[in-house]
Amino acid sequence: MIHSLDSVIRQHAFFNELDEHHIQFIVGCAKNVRFDTNHYIFREGDDADQFFFILEGLVSVELMVPTKGSVTVQTVGEGDVFGWSWLAPPYRWHFDARTMRKTHALAFDGKCLRAKCEEDHDLGYEILKRFANVAVERLDATRLQLLDLYGAHV
């Protein structure tokens, strides 16, 4: 089944209850992207000017550790929004993102959206609220991961 960008964005919980003109602006910032397996979507230190909404596939968020190589700190999959370095200076990626499977996503032009958020603070607030929620979820998950829950001492 083929869905338009517009309908996919409207159906996603992340964009729930946004004003119509904000939705229309966001749709204008979005494009479909497809990546093969083992493709680096972005690399640590590169300009962060996008964020992604995964429609299908799996992406590994990695960090290069000397002597260990690439270490996966988490994976994100279908329905997840990822990438928030476009929101905070210096607007550079802090991690690598590599596809573990063929991945279909929506890519949003963060640079354009950032400029619009500066101009329209209502939109800026709505976007920040949503990203704050994603960040809280990721932080909770990271804290649990750090607890080493299944280790013998817990």
Binding residues for other proteins, rule: CB under 8 A, are: 58, 60, 71-75, 77-80, 100-101, 137, 140-141, 144-145, 147-152, 154
Nearer to other proteins, 59 or 123 (CB): 59
> Minimum CB separation from other proteins for residue 57, in Å?
12
Nearer to other proteins, 2 or 154 (CB): 154
> Minimum CB separation from other proteins for residue 90, in Å?
26
> Minimum CB separation from other proteins for residue 150, in Å?
3
Nearer to other proteins, 24 or 145 (CB): 145
> Minimum CB separation from other proteins for residue 97, in Å?
13
Nearer to other proteins, 5 or 55 (CB): 55
The whole-angstrom separation of Cα 96 and Cα 1 is 31
Helix (H), strand (E), coil (C) string for the chain: CCCCHHHHHHHCHHHCCCCHHHHHHHHHHEEEEEECCCCEEECCCCECCEEEEEEECEEEEEEEECCCEEEEEEEEECCCEECCHHHCCCCECCCEEEECCCEEEEEEEHHHHHHHHHHCHHHHHHHHHHHHHHHHHHHHHHHHHHHCCCCCCC
> Minimum CB separation from other proteins for residue 45, in Å?
22
Nearer to other proteins, 28 or 74 (CB): 74
Within 8 A by CB and 6+ apart from 58, the residues are: 75, 76, 77, 99, 100, 101, 103
